[in-house]
Amino acid sequence: MLHQFTLFAPIFSGGNNAGRCSFAGNSSVRDVRSLRFMKQASGRQSNNEHGVFSETMDRAKHRATTAYGGRAQEGVLEEESSKVIESRPSWKAFPGQSFPLGVSEVDSGINFAIFSQNATAVTLCLVLPERGSIDALDGGMIEMVLDPDLNKTGDIWHICIEDLPRSNVLYGYRIDGPRDWGKGHRFDSSIVLVDPYAKLVEGRRYFGDISMKLSKFLGTYDFDSLPFDWGENYKLPNISEKDLVIYEMNVRAFTSDESSGLDSNIRGSYLGMIEKIPHLLELGINAVELLPVFEFDELEFQRRPNPRDHMINTWGYSTINFFAPMSRYASAGGGSVNASREFKQMVKSLHSAGIEVILDVVYNHTNEADDAFPYTTSFRGIDNKVYYMLDNNGQLLNFSGCGNTLNCNHPVVMELILDSLRHWVTEYHVDGFRFDLASVLCRGIDGSPLNAPPLIRAIAKDAVLSRCKIIAEPWDCGGLYLVGSFPNWDRWAEWNGKYRDDVRKFIKGDSGVKGSFATRVAGSSDLYSVNNRRPYHGINFVIAHDGFTLRDLVSYNFKHNEANGEGGNDGSNDNFSWNCGLEGETDDASVRALRSRQMKNFHLALMISQHYFGLICKLSSTLAL
């Protein structure tokens, strides 16, 4: 028999909000008394739409809601002694404060604040530590309706709750508003949404756990743990940009295989990275560039039948939240709090070895996909019209190739991005950022290119970010190609896509490219000599996570991505590769020897180039998803 737990409280404001706490009225403080934990053992249903609660009634009718925000279902719960577990916490709720956004600990309790300009109703949803196993998706949810007259300042909705536990609480929001898609709204109050400012996010505990593929995601917080000890002798590497040798890598894939020789509990984790620092030092690199480590859903492709529903997203370019470290990179399924601590341990250990940490960050789109097959977890349901670029008909613009485009130069979204970047610098001590499809960040709210994008300037001028490396991938999927001309304020570096292309053409034997090859090896002065820009503002690379691996580059003339379900539409068709005479794998000794020499030629060209960027990953033929 399936048991469902729901927590509910008396209604103070009256109306049709039974089963939820509302703090309307003139008083600034409301007691939440006689909360009841109801255990539903019967399958009886009720068509009562509104529900009524009375402490004196023998039966209580209310909306019973699943712990992680499945659609509400109506139920009649019998107040029978064998089916009721009572708890009587005495809470006080205050209107709260509008700053800071997210969850914060204040003198009067735990404060919650969230932005939504177009919402008409906001409900805070809480799951307490008594919920039991998070993987079991059981436990109860308290829903607290915010009163716009009491719990709203401008466009910020807020509430403060006294005596709420200082950790192990899961939370999210139901948000309602206009249902007019033509005006850009996508509100759906049946979904419990992740707070964009949640510093920690909980979901399934183990990476790729198919049994939990429909797991929901909720924010959480931890005010109980002591501050992380960075150590008395700790210091940042502070490596000059001109001396960087960057190794691009994926945290999980780096050690997830048993060939890593690590204990199974730390394979594919932040702690696993620490164990491989000697290997990184042997390579001669002094910085790692980590593929996305913000919380993402690796099983997003498997939520519905589609040609890619056999795949696991191991790269992570599908962000759910911009503040929370990927929780399933914690060791032994340790969850979000352990993930945060172990991420810091990893950074501390890398810094102790003289290795900087640069994050590949994805602020151009989110995991929420498009209107055809949306995966609403946060921004779309909170205020789609603010967070995403839309056309005049309220439809999503797609300059990311992923169905949506974050509205980066909207003031609210810009501040979110800046707050996120500062958080990773101050809380996690990272040394820099590589911005995926950074040309998106150069577009206005209508998608048109901007000569002086406010966000790009703000990042360049920000005091907290002043010590950081900031690196643009200077193109997007809408054709905004800005290699050599990315707005920079003499601060931004760029992935030098022209270096990649010209070096590939020269080494495979194309005619008429000697001059361009020499220019690239000598520092691309045609691109990086304006104002105070220097050759080190051009990041040289031959291969990266996108496109062919180094071995692919000398083994194939064409893409062969049949297994991934995208019909060959993924990735660029202009790879400037040469198969050395035979397409694909071969036992021909002469072809294999030529391919080996060609790979060495590419590596040598990169090493002798001025101010090089060593992407020494992807030496195998494929990076399996």
pLDDT in tens, 97-108: 999 999 999 999
We report the CATH number of the domain holding residue 395 as 3.20.20.80
Q: Specify the pLDDT at position 562.
A: 82
Identify whether residues 198 and 266 lie together within a single domain: no
Predicted confidence (pLDDT) at residue 185 exceeds the cutoff of 80: yes
Same domain (yes/no): 509, 426: yes
Residue where a domain stops, chosen among 172, 189, 222: 222
16 φ/ψ angles, rounded to the nearest 5 degrees: -110, 35
Question: What pLDDT is attached to residue 565?
Answer: 80
Query: Is residue 27 over pLDDT 60?
Result: no
Residue 593 in domain = no
Question: For residue 246, which phi and psi values (nearest 5 degrees)?
Answer: -100, 135
pLDDT score of 56 more than 80? no
Residue 6 lies in a domain: no
Decide which of 531 and 250 is more confident: 250
As a whole number of angstroms, the distance between CA 387 and CA 408 comes to: 8
Q: What is the pLDDT of residue 561?
A: 84
Question: Is 213 within the bounds of a domain?
Answer: yes
- Check whether residue 526 and residue 402 sit in a common domain: yes
State residue 568's pLDDT score. 77
Same domain? For 278 and 194 the reply is no
Q: Within this chain, do residues 306 and 266 fall inside the same structural domain, yes or no?
A: yes
What 3-state DSSP class applies to 171? strand
Residue, of 56 and 612, whose pLDDT is higher? 612
pLDDT of res. 144: 95
**Residue 274 shares a structural domain with residue 215:** no
The mean pLDDT of the chain is: 85
In tens, the pLDDT along 554-573 reads 999 999 888 888 877 777 88
| Among 385-394, 530-539, 553-562, the range of highest mean pLDDT | 385-394
Q: Which is it for the CA torsion 111, 112, 116, 118, positive or negative? A: negative
pLDDT of residue 90: 64
Compute the 3-state secondary structure of the chain and give helix, strand, coil in percent, each to the nearest 5: 25, 20, 55
Q: What is the pLDDT of residues 405-456, one digit of tens each?
A: 999 999 999 999 999 999 999 999 999 999 999 999 999 999 999 999 999 9
Rounded CA gap, 523 and 518, in Å? 9
Mean pLDDT of 241-264: 97
Position 570 scores a pLDDT of 79
Residues 408 and 479 in one domain: yes
Rounded to whole angstroms, how far apart are CA atoms 275 and 100?
A: 37
User: Quick check: is 582 in a domain?
Assistant: no
Note the pLDDT tens digit of each residue in 116-148: 999 999 999 999 976 544 444 445 789 999 999
pLDDT in tens, 291-340: 999 999 999 999 999 999 999 999 999 999 999 999 999 999 999 999 99
Share of the chain above pLDDT 90, in %: 78
Which residue would you say has higher pLDDT here, 9 or 588? Answer: 588
Supply the residues annotated as catalytic.
Answer: 436, 473
Q: Is the pLDDT of residue 620 over 60?
A: no
**Any idea what the Cα angle at residue 175 is, between residues 172 and 180, rounded to 5°?**
145
Q: Are residues 277 and 205 in the same domain?
A: no
Is there a domain that residue 273 lies in? yes
User: Which domain-ending residue is among 222, 253, 274?
Assistant: 222
- Give the whole-number percent of the chain exceeding pLDDT 70: 82
Whether 231 is covered by a domain: the verdict is no
What values do phi and psi take at 576, rounded to 5? 50, 45
Helix axes 454-461, 411-426, angle to 10 degrees: 30
Cα distances (Å, whole numbers) of residue 439 to 399, 459, 487: 9, 14, 9
- At residue 38 the predicted structure's pLDDT band, cuts being 50, 70 and 90, is very low
Contact partners, residue 139, CB within 8 Å, separation at least 6: 5, 67, 127, 128, 130, 131, 132
Q: Which of 191, 222, 253 is the last residue of a domain?
A: 222
If asked whether residues 217 and 252 sit together in one domain, one would say: no
Same domain? For 283 and 191 the reply is: no
Burial environment of residue 57 by CB neighbours within 10 A (0 to 12, 13 to 18, 19 or more)? exposed
**234 domain residue, yes or no:** no
Nearest to 505 by CA among 577, 594, 573: 577
Same structural domain, 268 and 200: no
Judge if 523 and 386 occupy the same domain.
Answer: yes
* Residue 59 pLDDT > 80: no
Determine, yes or no, domain membership for 50: no
333 DSSP 8-state letter: G
Tokens of 391: 């056309």
Q: What is the CATH number of the domain that holds 184?
A: 2.60.40.10
Backbone angles phi, psi at 91, to 5 degrees: -105, 155
Distance (Å, rounded) from C-alpha 317 to C-alpha 297?
A: 10
> Which domain covers residue 291, as residue numbers?
241-548+609-617
Residue 251 Cα distances to 255, 278, 351, angstroms: 7, 16, 16
Tens-place pLDDT, residues 489-516: 999 999 999 999 999 999 999 999 999 9
Q: Give me the mean pLDDT over the 210-215 stretch.
A: 95
pLDDT higher at 74 or 347 = 347
Count of domains for the chain: 2
The predicted pLDDT at position 611 comes to 56
Q: Show Cβ contacts of residue 298 under 8 Å, excluding neighbours closer than 6 positions.
A: 207, 208, 312, 313, 314, 316, 328
Q: What is the pLDDT of residues 456-496, one digit of tens each?
A: 999 999 999 999 999 999 999 999 999 999 999 999 999 99
Of the candidate ranges 68-82, 255-269, 409-423, 564-578, the one whose mean pLDDT is the lowest: 68-82
Q: Which of 37-51, 76-90, 575-589 is least confident?
A: 37-51
